[in-house]
Amino acid sequence: EIVMTQSPATLSVSPGERATLSCRASQSVSSNLAWYQQKPGQAPRLLIYGASTRATGIPARFSGSGSGTEFTLTISSLQSEDFAVYYCQQYNNWPLMYTFGQGTKLEIK
């Protein structure tokens, strides 16, 4: 099983600043990597797929990069609505298996 590890567990950033979240895979997942945002009491929302493609309706301040085992989600200028938990997910062997990282909580500094 491919293990996804996110860092840091919690990230404190001020509004307007840049946030950088990391995700590492235990083996290569090529570019089969998605990022989700989850707010309290809500379902996750797809932000990025294919490691760097923004999903429909996702603002340009969200960007993804990386391939293989190292991935990054960058939020260029944090808005109040961006403070949430973010998960990465690999789907390199879809539909046989999918695994999520443990999440990064992005909180207001």
Partner 1 sequence: QLQLQESGPGLVKPSETLSLTCTVSGGSISSSSYYWGWIRQPPGKGLEWIGSIYYSGSTYYNPSLKSRVTISVDTSKNQFSLKLSSVTAADTAVYYCCGQNIVVVPAQGFDPWGQGTLVTVSS
**Which residues here bind partner 1, judged by CB under 8 A?**
1, 31-32, 34, 36, 42-46, 49-51, 53, 55, 87, 89, 91, 94-103
End-to-end CA distance of the chain: 36
Of 14 and 96, CB closest to partner 1:
96
Minimal distance, residue 14 CB to partner 1, in Å = 26
Of 6 and 69, CB closest to partner 1:
6
Of 83 and 101, CB closest to partner 1:
101
3-state secondary structure of 82: helix
- Tokens 């989600």 belong to 73
Minimal distance, residue 15 CB to partner 1, in Å = 26
Of 97 and 108, CB closest to partner 1:
97
What 8-state DSSP symbol labels residue 77? S
What sign has the CA pseudo-torsion 58, 61, 66, 70? negative
C-alpha 47/C-alpha 18 separation (Å) is 17
In 3D space, the residue among 20, 7, 24 whose CA is nearest the CA of residue 99 turns out to be: 24
Minimal distance, residue 29 CB to partner 1, in Å = 11
